[in-house]
Structure 1
Amino acid sequence: MSLRLSTAILPVRPWREGGRDQWVRAERLGFHTAYTYDHLTWRSFRDKPWFGAIPTLTAAAAATEKLRLGTLVTSPNFRHPVTLAKELMSLDDISGGRFTLGIGAGGNGFDATALGQDPWTPRERADRLAEFVPLLDRLLTESEITESGTFYSAQEARNLPGCVQRPRLPFAVAGNGPRGMKLAAAHGQAWVTTGDPKLFDEGTPEQSVEAIRGQLARLDKACAEIGRASEPMDKILLTGFTPDRNTMLDSVDAFVDFAGRHRELGITEIVIHAPIADSEFAADENVFEQIATEGLAQLNG
């Protein structure tokens, strides 16, 4: 099974002070896609520079030619389907059809209360995502939408001329629960996982592999329930959240071992973070570039 290698570039550097260079480098190194987080800020970066995802990706689209671009992930925490659809259609146009939307329910971090609302429970987040994704799907595939929902409505919302990619840009749906899996099966061209969060602190790499194996089995079941084959769907692993996160980028050999185990499970795309010094994503820049240029060749050996 073929495996693609992508990267996640967090929007922490000013565009003229190294920000642009990271996206250009990602294309030069041959990554399949360069993603960024769609947050207002994130965890340990709360009191540090953090720029908006949509403007950053728009600038990246203008600075690159072939590199695919995307979010990992956008959520309803501070987005509305109507305004988001217009921005996504525009990004797809500016990039020449190189954009993928990663989308998930979001969490209870800083984004959850930034607009003044009380944080939603996991069930409330799932309820909102279940309405958000189908409406966004319609907004990106139909020229005019009027719909009244419990959480999100659209009144004569128009998105002309539509996406460059037809019938719309691809969705990569993040979700490990039953409802998230169903959304991925119904609307996703890809599915996203970070592994099992319960194993983050004390789990083992072997336990993590088995957990992801179980997730993939549940995705297969969700697809089968609606009469869809899961094989054509991309299965994306965003790294940095599994028990071996601190060792997988130590060397090309370490990465190849990690990637090989997950390829055997059925993962089709692995996303590694561009290094950020003095953070949980600190890594050797030279090893990162070696992995980008040599990792898949060694894996396919």
Structure 2
Amino acid sequence: MVLRHGVYLPPFGELADPRVLAEIAAEAEAAGFDGVFVWDHVARPHDEGLAVGDAWIGMAAIAAATSRVVFGPRITPLSRRRPQDVARESVALDLLSGGRLILGVGLGSEATGEFSRLGEVTAPRERAHRLDEALTVLTALWSGEVVHHDGPAFRVDGLQFLPRPVQRPRIPIWLAAQSVRQAPLRRAARYDGLCPEATPGELVDMLAIVAEHRGDLTGFEVAIAASTDRDAYERAGATWWLAELPKIISRSDALALVRRGPR
């Protein structure tokens, strides 16, 4: 499988402006990148005074400014989102882009206090339960069928969401995982891809677990965001190499980096 290349944009500082994200994405597409992915945060409590952009509005701008690259959040923490809102927003982005959205999801991180300082659920196990239930609701709503769901966190009482996504059977879902633990990798195996935080050696072990649950890795995407060891990650099973821009970067520096193209 040919390794595909993307850029990973932090929508902070000058990049908090969706017009800037759109400009960078258009330049990345022209330079030959295959995808554009964005961080999804609502606050950065440890970065006082930092401008933070809305990833979803940013992705709408990216969709409108490009015609070929796939794009998506890496990752959006579903425990702080209502799945019905994500269903509507993701379908709108898929329609706007002609079927180019990839939905990266996971638990997110409480390391900076982003959850606790906004009154969100913080316990990892509870966030994991909400993630699983939200994925069940989300994919059901994407189906276009009438949905009945009465769970501990979410309810859908006989509603049908139309239109459906452009992509079939649905919008691809990539799951985050940070270690060789069964639960996150079992979850990833049920969907379409993995966004790992791992060394090349750890990635080999992670994909062995995913393959055990799936049967094989056919069609399964693995998106690494890193700055070194590309060849080692490709040998370990990566299918995407995302050039990760610094957390704080100017518009001009970001444009200069993407204009160099995949390296």
TM-score, normalised to structure 1, is: 0.77
Q: Residues 275 and 86 of structure 1: is their aligned pair in 2 closer, same or farther, counting only changes over 3 Å?
A: same
The alpha carbon displacement at 1:184 in A equals: 1.4
1:90 aligns with 2:92: yes
Q: Does 1:192 align with 2:192?
A: no
> Could you tell me how far 1:182 is from its partner in structure 2?
1.5
Find out whether 1:269 has 2:240 as its counterpart. yes
Q: SS of 1:18's equivalent? A: helix
1:213 aligns with 2:201: no
1:234·1:268 contact (CA, 8 Å) conserved in 2?
yes
**C-alpha deviation, 1:268, in angstroms:** 0.7
Amino acid at match of 2:2: S
Measure the CA separation in 2 of the matches of 1:129 and 1:59: 27
Residue 126 of structure 1 deviates from its aligned partner by: 1.7
Partner Cα separation in structure 2 for residue 137 and residue 32 of structure 1 = 25
What SS class does the counterpart of residue 87 from structure 1 fall into? helix
The offset of 1:53, in angstroms, is 1.1
Distance 1:114 1:277, change over 3 A: closer
Per-residue CA distance 1:22-72 (angstroms, 9 max, x = gap): 121111112111011121024654531111111111111111111211010
Alpha-carbon distance, 1:276 to partner: 5.3
2:103 is paired with a residue whose SS is strand
For the 8 Å contact 2:18–2:58, the answer to whether it is kept is no
Taking the aligned partners of 1:158 and 1:46, their CA distance within structure 2 comes to 43
Q: Which amino acid in the other structure matches residue 211 of structure 2?
A: D
Greater RCO (Cα-Cα under 8 Å, separation 6 or more): 2
Query: 1:30 and 1:81 mapped to 2: Cα distance?
Result: 33
Q: Secondary structure at the match of 1:65?
A: coil
Q: Deviations over 1:185-237 (max 9, x none)?
A: 12x11111021xxxxxxxxxxxx22222211112112223xxxx223201111
What residue number does 1:178 align with? 182
Q: Deviations over 1:81-117 (max 9, x none)?
A: 1111011111111111110000112221443124424
Matched, 1:127 2:129: yes
Kindly report the root-mean-square deviation, in angstroms, between the aligned alpha carbons of the 2 structures.
Answer: 2.4
Q: Which has the larger radius of gyration?
A: 1
Look up the equivalent residue of 2:146 and give its one-letter code: E
Partners of 2:125 and 2:98 in 1: how far apart? 37
Percent identity between matched residues is 24
Aligned-residue offset at 1:284:
8.6
**Residues 50/160 of structure 1: CA separation in 2 closer, same or farther (3 Å cut):** same
- AA aligned to 1:181 is L
Given the superposition, is the C-alpha separation of residues 47 and 190 from structure 1 closer, same or farther in structure 2, using an over 3 Å criterion?
Answer: same
Aligned to 2:104: 102
Q: Is the 8 A contact 1:104 1:173 kept in 2?
A: yes
Residue equivalent to 2:147? 145
Q: Where does residue 159 of structure 1 map in the other structure?
A: 161
* Residue 230 (structure 1) aligned to one of 191, 206, 217: 217
Measure how far apart 1:150 and its partner are: 1.1
| Residue 3 of structure 2: aligned partner | 3
Match of 2:116 among 109, 113, 119: 113
Q: Tell me, what secondary structure is at the counterpart of 1:94? A: helix
Deviations 1:270-295 (A, max 9, x none): 1112345569xxx89756543x24x2
Distance change >3 Å, CA 36–CA 125, structure 1 → 2 = same
- In the TM superposition, residue 20 of structure 1 has moved relative to its aligned partner by 2.9
Task: Name the TM-score, length of structure 2 as normaliser.
Answer: 0.87
Gaps of 5+ in 1: 196-207, 240-244, 249-257, 296-301
